Amino acid sequence: ADPDPLQDLCVADLSASISANNFPCKPLSEVTSDDFVFDGLRKQANFTDAFGVTVTTGNVLSFPGLNTLGIAMNRVDIEPGGINPPHSHPRASEIGIVIEGKILAGIVTTENVYYSKVLTAGQVFVIPRGLVHFQLNVGRKKALTFTAFNSHLPGSTVLPLNLFAAAPSIPVEVLTKTFLVDEDAINNIKSKFVF
Ligand code: GLV
Ligand code: MN
């Protein structure tokens, strides 16, 4: 989904003050072998959120060597019973492989058609660009998945956080009218997303 590169390599200079729809390249004289290696997906971070999922991102922001290459990779650790909640990636399709555990992977199209499948180790799934999708751990052990994207910064719109944890908040009236419920129901949901 990203534009094609215009040179062999362009390790991002994330500290540059000017950028236009990408990051400038750091000088070639400063590029080292380490710029092409990322250790950030080696291990699981601590589970920190309400969903029992940790998504560790290997995109241009964490791995500047990806700059302009149109690819990225995540590590997704899900606790038993945990969920990587419904979300979409505005700038990339996603391909994933289950390494361990058992997940229910679901997709919903723009026509509100739902596709899903229970997947185990070695199975590969694909999520078309922009479509809402989730992974629910339906096994008894933790689930580990690696996902890859055709963008160096795929972006992730996580629906519950977008709607209920935006800062500043979306007006409650918008949410009561959107979900056809009263304020208590909205405030109850919001209270769960104060991390
Ligand atoms: C999984 O859906 C991910 O976005 O890494
Ligand atoms: Mn995803």
Ligand 1 pocket: which residues have CB below 6 Å? 55, 74, 76, 84, 94, 133, 135, 147, 156
76 phi/psi in degrees, rounded to 5: -120, 110
Instruction: Judge whether residue 61 has pLDDT over 90.
Output: yes
**Distance in Å, CA 134 to ligand 2 centroid:** 7
The string of pLDDT tens digits covering residues 76-119 is 999 999 999 999 999 999 999 999 999 999 999 999 999 999 99
Ligand 1 atom nearest to CA at 135: 2
Please, which residues have CB less than 5 A from ligand 2, an ion? 94
How far CA 114 is from CA of 34, 86, 109, 152, 162, in Å, comes to: 42, 12, 7, 28, 21
How many Cβ atoms are within 10 Å of 174's Cβ, its own excluded?
12
Query: What's the confidence (pLDDT) of residue 17?
Result: 81
Over range 138-161, report the average pLDDT: 97
Q: Which helix (H) or strand (E) holds 191?
A: helix 183-192
Q: How many CB atoms lie within 10 A of CB 150?
A: 18
β-pairing, 132-137 with 124-127? unpaired
Average pLDDT over residues 23-30: 94
Distance of CA 183 from the midpoint of ligand 1 (Å):
31
Half-sphere exposure of 177 (CA within 13 A, CB side): 5
User: Which of 39-48, 130-139, 162-171, 184-193 shows the lowest per-residue confidence on average (mean pLDDT)?
Assistant: 39-48
Q: In the structure, what pLDDT confidence band is assigned to residue 19 with cuts at 50, 70 and 90?
A: confident
**What is the CATH number that goes with domain 28-155?**
2.60.120.10
Domain boundaries, the chain: 28-155, 165-195
Closest CA to 23 of 32, 10, 35: 10
The atom number, within ligand 1, closest to the CA of 89 reads 4
Element (H, E) at 172: helix 172-179
Q: Which amino acid is at 5?
A: P
